[in-house]
Amino acid sequence: MFEALTRFIDSHEKFVVTTHVNPDCDALGSALGMAYLIEARGKQARIINTDPTPSRFSFVDPDSRIEVYSETVFPAEDEAVVVVDVGDLRRIGKLGEFLLNHPRPFACVDHHKSNTGFAQVNILQPEACATGLILARLAKEWGIPFNQTLANALYIAMYTDTGGFRFPNTDAETLRVASELVEAGAEASYLATEFHENMPIGRVRLFGEVLENFRTEADGKIIYVTISLDQLEKHGCDRSDVEGFVEYIRGIEGVELAILFRQADQENT
């Protein structure tokens, strides 16, 4: 299941791990988890993302390991690249453009069905609830025990991509692995509290505005909301602040489909 990735990791000494633009908690937790696993095999690993970690997700990276791509921060010639939670190279943003112009050996670990198989080595497991679950499987394959650092990273990845273990992608394996992570030290209560609470007042006001302006179709079975860049700026929010909104409106009685349309900025259209 992981033979090709194992050969890839064993064939290089230095790595850069990266994920998609506007990273969510599965992306961030998976990047941290992948870097940990690489280092556990005696290799060196850095994490470089195109976008900075959203402030409300800073709890995922308590040691501030994640760097931001720039003219001086990029994969060196002797560093291979591992991309996590990304289905298409374009989703990496400016770092993806760098890799097109300055090729590096690279692999991808992902759970999206839409993955284009863009990497030289592709570990694609669309039945997994989150990329974090794939990395938990990888840790077991490599005989690397969970500790609190790894457990926290993988737990928050799985927790958020299953909507707090509410979505249909939550299966028995998901719950078993989550239990193992908690036993290993994952701070389930702390992570859930940081994700759902401690919200900036601007995010609360933005959500209130969203609730005032939702629209319904098909006798209330379909609900949709729109969020503009002007609204984000007005409330001092960024793209990460809209995460979770669609789950709330999907919980309205009678709703079968909830859609959120967010205006894209010029760099991420």
Q: Render pLDDT for 193-246 as a digit per residue (tens, 0 to 9).
A: 999 888 889 999 999 999 899 999 999 999 999 999 999 999 999 888 898 898
The arithmetic mean of pLDDT across residues 125-148, rounded, is 98
3-state secondary structure of 197: coil
φ and ψ at residue 199, rounded to 5 degrees = -80, 135
pTM above 0.75, yes or no: yes
Residues 53 and 23: their CA atoms lie apart, in Å, by 7
Domain 200-262 has CATH 3.10.310.30: yes
In the chain, which ranges are continuous DSSP H helix? 3-10, 25-40, 94-101, 131-141, 148-161, 172-183, 188-196, 201-212, 229-234, 245-250
* Contacts with 128 (C-beta within 8 Å, 6 or more apart), sequence order: 111, 134, 137
CATH superfamily name and code, 3-195: inorganic pyrophosphatase (n-terminal core) (3.90.1640.10)
Residues 146 and 154: their CA atoms lie apart, in Å, by 10
φ and ψ at residue 20, rounded to 5 degrees = -80, 165
Domain positions in the chain are 3-195, 200-262
- In this prediction, residue 250 carries a pLDDT of 87
